[in-house]
Amino acid sequence: MTTAEDFYEAIKHIGAGSLYYLMLKEGTTNEYVFEPLIIDTKHKELTLHVLQRAMDHPKFIAFPGTPEAYAFINEAVVNPDSK
């Protein structure tokens, strides 16, 4: 599983900006949305806190480019009947 620290290491060069993560839409069981985060990777501890806070949300699925995101895409989009 990708940790906040792992993801920070992958994005630490981007600086400040918006980052979107995938989550299950509130009140649904099969609708998904991308939620924004404002980050500034020059501030490592603050960025780690923001990433971890998103990851701790019960509806959080994945950050883009992570193994979890690819697994979600494969399971939910490419092979939706594989469950």
Instruction: Write the pLDDT tens digit of every residue in 21-31.
Output: 999 999 998 89
* Assigned domain for 56 exists: yes
Q: Give me the pLDDT at residue 83, please.
A: 52
Q: Which domain holds residue 54?
A: 4-61
* Assigned domain for 46 exists: yes
CA–CA gap between residue 18 and residue 40 (Å, rounded)? 9
What total number of domains does the chain contain? 1
- Across residues 46-70, what is the average pLDDT? 96
* Assigned domain for 26 exists: yes
* Assigned domain for 80 exists: no
Q: What is the pLDDT of residues 3-25, one digit of tens each?
A: 999 999 999 999 999 999 999 99
Q: Give me the pLDDT at residue 76, please.
A: 79
* Assigned domain for 35 exists: yes
CA dihedral 56, 2, 36, 49 (to 10 degrees): 60
* Assigned domain for 23 exists: yes
Cβ–Cβ under 8 Å, residues 68 and 62 = yes
> At how many degrees (to 10) do helices 44-56 and 4-11 cross?
130
